[in-house]
A and B are shown apart, each in its own frame.
Chain A
C-alpha cells in the first residue's frame, strides 16, 4: 500500500469538489474491495475521500412509484428493506447470494456497482494485465481463465464484473444518478454504466473522474415472477460462474413479457433485449426457453478454461426461464 492522504466529505458537493482537485483521488465507502486492492498495490490512489457518512443512505418511493436507493445504503439494509423484499425480490435474492454477511454489512450500493473484477491476473502485480497496467498484455487469455468472460470480451481483456446486485438491477431497468464537481447531475441507465473492455479495459465505466454516484433508481417492477439463479462452486461466498436474473409473466400459454440479464459472463451485466422482444407473445413452452437460451449465448466465445460457461449459462437460463413462466 502506498502512502495516501484521507479526508471525509461532509456533503455531496464537497465530496465531488475534493475529487476534482485530486486527479489521483478515489472515493471510499465500505472499502471491502478498494482496501484489499490497495494493500496489494493494485489500486494506488494518493488520496481517499470518505463518502460513507454522506446523507445518502435512504430508500424512498419515487413519484412514479419506483424506488430510489441512496448510494450509501448498505447491501444488507437494501436486501432487508420491505419494499425490496415485496416488490423487487429479484434484487433481494441477488444481494443475499453475494459475498458474506460481514461484507454485505459494510458494502455500499454504489461501491457494489463499482467493484473491480476478480481476475487472478489483475490481482497479482507481477502478471501482465491491461486493466491494471494498460499495454502490458492479458495473462488470462491463454492462462487460467475458468472464471472469465464468454461474451463481450476482447483480445485485451476477458475479465468479468463480479457483482450479483448489478445483474438484478440491470434486469430491473435501473438507472444511476450522479453528481459532478461542476454541479451537473445526470442519470445513466445501468446498462450504460459499465463498459466492455475493447482496447481500453482499464476504462470500466462511463463515469468521469470525480463524478459520484448518489443514488440508484428503479422504475416500478413489471408484473410477473422474479428469479435470480446464481451458479457457483460452493454454497456461499463464491463468485458466480454464471448467474441469471429473470422477470417474466405468462398467461394463457403465452409469455407476456420477459426480461433476462446474465452475470459472470461479461465485463458488465448482460441484458438481452432482442431476445426479450422475441419472447413477447411467444408460446410459454420448453422449446421457447431452449431457443431463448441458445439465442442469449449466440456469439459466445470460450477461452479454454471457461468453455463450460456457455452450456452452463444456456442450461441455467433455460431452466430459470421455464420456472419463471410456469403456471401458478
Chain B
C-alpha cells in the first residue's frame, strides 16, 4: 500500500468539517483541568509570589496564615518536600528538566513563588496567603537590556536546533560596496501569550503514583518534567489534558501550578488543585523577550540584493537561557550571495522566556519585512516586484531545493484579490476626510516540521473505529483533523470514528507545537489505519468465516463503510463480526524531521503574503486596521474551516503585535507592570473588521503523506510588518519600535488643515 494519501475518495479530507468537539465546548460539557472532579473534593492551592525580583528570603512568618480559617497547609522553602536541583542555565533537556519550586531561599525573579497555601476553598487560600509576612534581602538585578549591551554574549545554539550564526560569502565587503544600502534598527517588546485558560492543575496521588489533570500542549514534557522534578520514574506520573483553552507555546513545559499541586497533594494525601491568576501568569509562565534587531541590505540599483544582514540582540533569563531563532528564517527567504545572521543575548533577572506562537518569525519578520519595505521605497520599486526580483532558485544558505515554494503566487494572487494596484507608492497620498489611508504588504515564511509520533487505532466488531494518541487539541482542530484522517483512510463515515487524545497512557506523540500537530499525529494515525487495513484484508482473504475467502483483494478498496472488490462488497461491520469479532488494533508511527531524509534534502517551509489597509486619524494618530487579506501557500488544506480559523487567529496576533501588544517591564522593580488584560492590550472584536484568507492549494509530497504543511503559526508571520508598512504608506512616518502606538506616530504626522 502506498504511503501517500493522494486522493480523497471518501470526501473526508479537504472538507470544511465542523469541529467534532464543538458541541461539547459550547454546551459546557468539555471539562477543563480546574473543573475536573475525581472522587474526593480537592483542596485549593494559592501561590504567593515574591515582592522583589532578586535576592533572598531573610525570614518568612506563616503563623497567621496557618491559623486562618480553612487552611490545611502552608508550604515554603523550609518545609517543601525534596526536589531535584534546577541545574545550569543551558540544558539539552530543556523540555523535561527538573523545575523545582519553593526549593530555596533564593529569589530569581519577581513574583517567583515563595509560599503555597492550601485551603478548603480558593478564597480561603488566597486570603491566608495575604497574611504571610516575608522579609527580603534585596539585591540589585539587571532588567534593562539596552543599558547592558556591553554584556552581550553569543549562545551555543538558538531555539529549535538553529545555529547561532550563519555566514555566506563576504557580507561586510558586499554591504559596504553596495550601490544602495539600508541599515535600520527595529525594536520589539516583551509580549505574553495570555491564553484564555490559565495554567491549572489538579493532582491526585494513588499510592506512589500521581495523576495530573492539567492544561498541556505536550503531555510527555509534563510527565517527564514533573517526574524529574519529584525524582520519581516517569511511569508513575500520568498526565490528562483532553481540552485546552489555548496554549500558544506557554503550555509546553511544567510550571509552578503542576509542581506545587503535586507536592501539596502528596503531603496532604488529598487531591489538590490550583490555577495561576492572570497576574501571576505574567511573571511565572514565560514570555517573548524584548529584542533589538539590526537589518542591513546591500542592493544593486535594479533591486537585486547583494548582501543580507540580520543581527538580533535579545534579552534572556540569567538562570535559564532561551534564544529565540529570530533571524533563522532570513537564511531561507530571499536570494543574495553575501549573507550574515547572528543571534546575541543579554542576561536579565527575569523568569525564562518561552516559545511563543511563531517563535523567530513573529518578531523577526516584523523587523525584516519592514526593512524590505524601506528598501523598496529607496529603490522606487513596488514591494512585490522587489521580492520577486530576489526570489531564490534553491534555499540560499543550505543549497538544497525547496520542497514546494508558492511565495510568488501568494504575492501575485493576493495582490490581485486585495486591489494592491490602488496603493500609492508615495506615502500620505490617500485621504478620506481627515483619515490617512495606507496599504502595506509583507511576505510570510515558516518552517514545516514533523515530530515523532505513534498512534493506535482499533476497529471493533461493529466497524466502529477508535484512535488513541497522547496528542492534544489546543483549540486548533486536532480532534477534527484526526477524525477526518481515520475516516478517509478506513473508508468509514466521520460518525464511525472516535478520537481520544490527551492521556499520557496513549501512544507518545510530539504534542501541539511548531505547527506540526496535524502532520505528525495525522501521519502516525494514517499509518496505523493502513496497518489495520492490511490486517482486515489478510483476514478477509484467509479467514474461514470470511465471505471473501480466497478472493484476490489486491485491488480491494475501503469505501463508505464497505470493503469493495470488483462487483462484490461487504459491509465492514458485518465482515468484522465474522473475521475478527474480538476487534483489531494496529499502530502506526512517524519519525522526527531530524531523522528524515526528505527534510535533509529539501528546504521545507510554508509561505504566504499579507496585505493590509489601515487608516490613521490625522488629528489623533489613532490607527485602525480596515481590512486585511492573507494568501496562504501551505500545501494541501486538510480542513479549510479549521485552517482558516488558524490563519485568522494568526492574523489577529500579528495585528496585535503591530499595534498594541507590549508587556512593560519596570526596570526599577523587575516587574511586568501592566499585568492584566485590561492594560495588556490584545485586539478586541472592534479592532478586527474584515479579514480574508485565501488558500493557494498545492501538494507537498515531500512533507508528509497528505502533502500538507503546518499553518498554525504561519498566519502570524509577517502580518505585523504588513500593518506597519501600511501605516507608513498612510502617514509617511516610519516607526521602528513596536508596537506602533499613536504617541510614536503623532510627532511626525502631516499637518491637517483645520
Residue of A2, A124, A126, A312 touching B742 (CB-CB under 8 A): A312
A-B contact count (CB 8 A): 98
Residue of B nearest to A319 (CB): B619
Question: CA–CA, A241 to B126, complex, Å?
Answer: 33
Given A1-B123, A124-B673, A232:B622 Cβ within 8 A: yes
Whether A235 contacts B624 by the Cβ 8 Å rule is yes
CA distance in complex: A121, B669 (Å): 11
**Chain B 663-679 residues near chain A, CB threshold 8 A:** 664, 666, 668-669, 671, 673-676, 678-679
Whether B754 lies near A120 (C-beta < 8 A) is no
Whether the pair B684, A127 counts as a contact (CB closer than 8 A) is no
A-B contact sample (14 more), CB < 8 A, given A120-B673, A143-B668: A1-B127, A3-B127, A124-B673, A139-B668, A144-B674, A233-B659, A234-B660, A308-B746, A311-B746, A311-B747, A312-B621, A312-B743, A316-B619, A316-B620
CA distance A144 to B127 in the complex (A): 29
Can you spell out 14 A-B residue pairs with CB atoms less than 8 angstroms apart? A40-B279, A120-B673, A120-B679, A126-B51, A144-B673, A232-B622, A233-B659, A237-B686, A239-B678, A290-B754, A308-B743, A312-B621, A315-B746, A319-B619
Please classify the interface of chain B as helix (H, G, I), strand (E, B), loop, or mixed, using the class held by over half of its residues.
loop
Q: Mark B106-134, 1 if CB is under 8 A from A, else 0.
A: 00000000000000000100110010000
Asked if A319 and B684 sit within 8 Å, CB to CB, the answer is no
Interchain CB contact under 8 A, A312 and B673: no
Contacts of A136 in B (CB 8 A): none
Contact of B741 among A41, A121, A233 (CB under 8 A): A233
Chain A residues near B621 (CB-CB < 8 A): 312
Q: When the two chains form the complex, which single residue of B659, B664, B684 contacts A237, counting CB atoms closer than 8 Å?
A: B684
Report if A254 contacts B (CB, 8 A).
no
Contact string against A for B residues 610-621, beta-carbon threshold 8 Å, 1 for contact and 0 otherwise: 000000000111
A234 with B681: in contact, given A2-B127, A41-B130, A315-B620 (CB under 8 Å)? Answer: yes
Cα A41 to Cα B49 in complex, Å, equals: 14
Could you give, for residues 134-176 of chain A, a 1 whenever the CB lies within 8 Å of some chain B CB and a 0 otherwise?
0000010011101000000000000000000000000000000
A231 adjacent to B620 (CB under 8 Å)? yes
B306 to chain A, nearest CB (A): 40
CB 8 Å contact bits of B14-49 with A (1 = contact, 0 = none): 000000000000000000000000000000000000
Q: In the complex, which residues of chain A have a beta carbon less than 8 angstroms from the beta carbon of B741? A: 233
CB of B210, distance to nearest CB on chain A (Å): 30
- The distance from the CB of A187 to the nearest CB of chain B, in whole angstroms, is 33
Which residues of B (490-548) have their CB < 8 Å from a CB of A?
Answer: none
Question: Are B123 and A234 closer than 8 Å at their CB atoms?
Answer: no
Q: Given A233-B681, A234-B660, are A127 and B754 neighbors across the interface (CB < 8 Å)?
A: no
Residue from A235, A236, A238 with most neighbouring chain B CB atoms (10 Å): A235
Listed from nearest, the 4 A-B pairs whose CB atoms lie closest are: A286-B754, A235-B686, A308-B743, A236-B686
Q: Is the CB of B685 closer than 8 A to any CB of chain A?
A: yes
B81 at the interface (CB under 8 A from A): no
Q: Mark contacts of B551-578 with chain A using CB atoms, 8 A cut-off: 1 yes-contact digit, 0 otherwise.
A: 0000000000000000000000000000
Q: Which A220-270 residues have a C-beta within 8 angstroms of B?
A: 231-239, 241
Closest CB in chain A relative to B99 CB, distance in Å: 24
- A254 CA to B752 CA, complexed, in Å: 23
Q: How many whole Å from A47's CB to the nearest CB in chain B?
A: 15
Assess whether A282 is interfacial by the CB under 8 Å rule: no
Chain B residues numbered 652-711 whose CB sits less than 8 Å from any CB in chain A: 659-660, 664, 666, 668-669, 671, 673-676, 678-679, 681, 683-687
CA distance A235 to B675 in the complex (A): 20
Asked if residues A234 and B742 are in contact (CB atoms below 8 Å), the reply is no
Contact assessment for B685 and A236 in the assembled complex, using a CB-CB cutoff below 8 Å = yes
B29 CB to nearest chain A CB (Å): 23
Residues on A with beta carbons closer than 8 Å to the beta carbon of B681: 233-234, 238
Judge whether A118 is part of the interface by a CB distance below 8 angstroms. yes
Q: Does B89 contact A (CB under 8 A)?
A: no
- A289 interface residue per 8 A CB criterion: yes
| Interchain CB contact under 8 A, A234 and B686 | yes
B69 within 8 A of A: yes
Distance of A26 from chain B, by nearest CB (Å):
17
